[in-house]
Structure 1
Amino acid sequence: MTAFFFFSNGTAAGREEMSAQVRLRLLPSARCLFDEPIQVKVAGLRSKQVVTMRARSTDDKGVVFSSMATYRADGNGEINLERDPSLSGSFVGVEPMGLLWSMTADTLHKRFQKTNTLNPHVVKFSVHEEEGEMLAEVTNERFLIKEGISRAPVKEGNLRGVLFTPPGKGPFPAVLDLYTFGGGLSEKRASLLASRGFLVLTVSLYGHDDQPKNIKEIHLDYFEEAINFLRKQEKVGSKGVGIISLSKSGDLALSAASFLPNVEAVVWINGCSANVILPLYYKKKLILPALMFDPKKRIPTESGAIISKYAMHSPLEEENKATLVPIERAKGRFLFVASEDDLNWDSKAYMDEMVERLKHHGKDNFETLSYPGAGHYLEPPYGPYCPSSFHGVAGKPVLWGGEPTTHAAAEVHLWKKIQEFFRTHVSCDTAQAKAKL
């Protein structure tokens, strides 16, 4: 389905020169999944006419995000964002999805929040005369959950989360999504992974539903409970599960792979190689003390946000080595992903340390991806790039790093790699699923 919206050119000269009206089209459809690219085309302009294109959206917290770019039509009065460069604005050059990822918040230090996966991310694209008058507008509905996917809240034992199950008999590979360490629950990445054929459980560690708002320690038993819950699902064909993480949850994913059975594959994105901030317990016994940070080493900036990259103590110092997660014990595979411009902490150094340690132990159960110019928050593609936002542990806004264009390209590349990695390394046995049925 192609959406067409028509507005007249608006000037007497324009009406005389053009028999057609200005048309703004989103191909192949104005309705798509959040992680799908679209082709943006404009027709019916004057030859070589310069116009401004805009995108605007409001997130689930009511924050308005917008972008703009200037384009010059070709000799036929047409613009194609896959072919034509932006001359100025939120980005420059040929960036087919630039109007989406370059959207910035109208309030400083706000991250795009999409908490309700059942409602689409609605973006209004528009074309304007240089003087500002609107020539055409179209609405893009970007869905976070594919039709037919089941979304079920989970409240079983200590577990608090949401389970996403694809339609059909399966079997499907199982993935545990530890989105990040922030309180509450994030469903966006989990619902999109389910839309790509994975059975996904996303869990909250604290701050959701009836969970405590603050915690002083973490218990690995919670993640063991989550893994066992996933493996019991009727449509799961995998003997074990995959785990995807980001930031602080990276070391939790490493710990799950190192201390618990049935973890076949871990995607570690911009995490640490040591257990950070809170001590980790298993069966009521301390298994990893916490690596801490020095608040005095945080760097203030004019925007009011801090750079925290240099504040963490080194896990390689003799007094901190006990905090290192013993990943050499893990039987599953790792995909380590590091952004080289991460300003939250030195993800690249942590990744390099883990690679050296695994090699030292004769292990080759890992793959690495390194993204120069990308920042801390690597998410599913085509959402607004986040330069800074409030950090719960720091208690103030932090800079996440990254150059927007490069960061957006990294998200597109990584999203495909994550799916390939899990499809390859999370076993999917039809007989296994039938036995459960």
Structure 2
Amino acid sequence: MSPQVRLMLLPSARCLFDEPIQVKVDGLRPRQVVTMRAKAKDERGVVFQSSAIYRADMGGAVDLQRDPALCGSYVGVEPMGLLWSMKADMPHKYFHWSLALNPHMVKFSVHDGVAEDDEEGGALAEATNERCLIADGVSRVVVKQGTFSGVLFTPPGEGPFPGVLDLCTFMSEKRASLLANKGFMVLTIAVFNDKPVNIKHLNLDYFEEAVQFLQQQPKVGGKGIGVISRSKGGDIGLSLSSFTSGVEAVVWINGCSANIGFPLHYKNREVLSVLGSNVSKLLPTPSGASIVKFAVGDPETKENQGSVVPIEKAKAHFLFVASEDDLNWDSKAFMEGMAQRLKREGKKNFETVCYPRAGHLLEPPYGPYCHAGLHGMLRAPVLWGGEPKAHIDAEVHLWKKIENFFRTRLTSKL
């Protein structure tokens, strides 16, 4: 360590997960070339890291908000580049960080010259960024009510707060806790509480109970509940708004317009069949990960009509979000099909957002970008798609749009 070199994280080394920080270094030699690094472990102990080469100014300072990376994990002026460009030491690894009470710790360091990623020690200066998922005053309560279980996050204060149901394909508290930090009461539940191989069908009643539970919370205001969902959770969110009451606003992110994976039951009968698929159309790639997109059936064909969610029956407002480079399935086509169907019915209760060059896994911003990972239903590595910079920019834009959408649609009746 060099006593004259300082690595600063501003405005504070402790922040929320979805907040940007300013990374600055001073005390270097004029025009000194340095390597900036970030390193962290996820909840499963997998190491993620990034590095980029910078040149100090004549005053011996590097400011990631101002200065371009010359080469490395990214190039150009990217203030949060060291965070979103972190990659695992092993291929096809998703960054798992789901428990809200555990802060994400990232070690930043600055090294003289062009340092190799596997070099240990030799840092001129270091600083640790504590990125919290849950803000001070937000409560976290594990809920087991009726047939469903989940985690409820409540902002500080008496409320009333807009209520949001977060449908995650597999259990994660990240998105729910970050929404609660913004003043929403959020209940997060998993679409799958068992291994998919053990599931014969899904019951919409289970998710309806969660909506009703939220409605009954004394701190929840308004008449309707918001639902946020991505991937398989997307068609569950659509189904809740179409078959049940109480849902006022739905955010659908890179989902399907039809029921996928398993038959959907409601009130002891099947209400939606399964969208057809053909695993022989999976496309293998040299990386060992497959492209799923072309194996998923077309909801517009006659044989798949029984799987299509009847969103024209819904009274909710929809925010449909699709990534053009989604390689899991054709989210853009699904979104456009739903928009056309609603227009034919004279409906205006929706808006669409499409992100060019973004991939399937749109998440709250500033986590490591994931191009490929293990598919939870196929149990094999797949490509999610997207170009890193465009994908991260989409996440930043979408996160603010989700907040505004829910605030507009869920607080108007308070």
TM range (shorter): over 0.9
Cα deviations across residues 155-182 of structure 1 (Å, max 9, x unaligned)?
A: 11111100001110011000000022x3
* Aligned partner (choices 152, 161, 172) of residue 163 of structure 1: 152
* Aligned partner (choices 309, 314, 319) of residue 335 of structure 1: 319
AA matched with 2:49: S
AA matched with 1:400: W
AA matched with 2:215: R
Preserved CA contact (<8 Å) 1:171 1:428: no
Q: Distance in 2 between matches of 1:235 and 1:29?
A: 32
Cα deviations across residues 20-62 of structure 1 (Å, max 9, x unaligned)?
A: x111111100000000000111111111111000000001000
Scaled by the length of structure 1, the TM-score of the pair is 0.91
User: CA offset at residue 429 of structure 1?
Assistant: 5.2
Cα deviations across residues 2-23 of structure 1 (Å, max 9, x unaligned)?
A: xxxxx317xxxxxxxxxxx111
Residue matched to 1:324: 308
Cα deviations across residues 56-95 of structure 1 (Å, max 9, x unaligned)?
A: 0001000000000000111111111111100000000111
Residue matched to 2:193: 207
User: CA offset at residue 324 of structure 1?
Assistant: 0.9
Distance 1:54 1:318, change over 3 A: same
Residue matched to 2:344: 360
Preserved CA contact (<8 Å) 2:168 2:191: no
1:198 aligns with 2:184: yes
Preserved CA contact (<8 Å) 2:32 2:113: no
1:406 aligns with 2:390: yes
Preserved CA contact (<8 Å) 1:207 1:213: no
Residue matched to 1:248: 232
1:216 aligns with 2:192: no
SS at match of 1:286: strand
SS at match of 2:100: coil
Residue matched to 1:109: 92
* Aligned partner (choices 50, 54, 67) of residue 84 of structure 1: 67
Scaled by the length of structure 2, the TM-score of the pair is 0.96
Preserved CA contact (<8 Å) 2:323 2:355: yes
User: CA offset at residue 347 of structure 1?
Assistant: 0.3
SS at match of 2:23: strand
Alignment of 1:22-421 (within 5 A): 22-130=5-113, 132=115, 133-180=122-169, 182=170, 185-207=171-193, 214-421=198-405
Say what the alpha-carbon RMSD is for the aligned residues: 1.3
Q: Distance in 2 between matches of 1:213 and 1:295?
A: 16
Cα deviations across residues 194-252 of structure 1 (Å, max 9, x unaligned)?
A: 011100000123336xx997211011111110000001111101211000000011011
User: CA offset at residue 302 of structure 1?
Assistant: 1.1
Q: Distance in 1 between matches of 2:168 and 2:112?
A: 42
AA matched with 2:394: A
Q: Distance in 2 between matches of 1:428 and 1:172?
A: 12
Distance 1:83 1:108, change over 3 A: same
AA matched with 2:143: V
User: CA offset at residue 131 of structure 1?
Assistant: 5.5
AA matched with 2:136: E
Cα deviations across residues 85-114 of structure 1 (Å, max 9, x unaligned)?
A: 000000001110000000001111110011
Preserved CA contact (<8 Å) 1:68 1:99: yes
Preserved CA contact (<8 Å) 1:244 1:267: yes
Q: Distance in 1 between matches of 2:6 and 2:396?
A: 28
Q: Distance in 2 between matches of 1:394 and 1:159?
A: 25
Distance 1:97 1:299, change over 3 A: same
Q: Distance in 1 between matches of 2:196 and 2:139?
A: 28
Preserved CA contact (<8 Å) 1:59 1:113: yes
Residue matched to 1:14: none
SS at match of 1:127: strand
Q: Distance in 2 between matches of 1:131 and 1:286?
A: 61
Preserved CA contact (<8 Å) 2:33 2:114: no
SS at match of 2:295: coil
Alignment of 1:14-29 (within 5 A): 21-29=4-12
AA matched with 1:283: K
Residue matched to 1:8: 2
Q: Distance in 2 between matches of 1:409 and 1:379?
A: 11
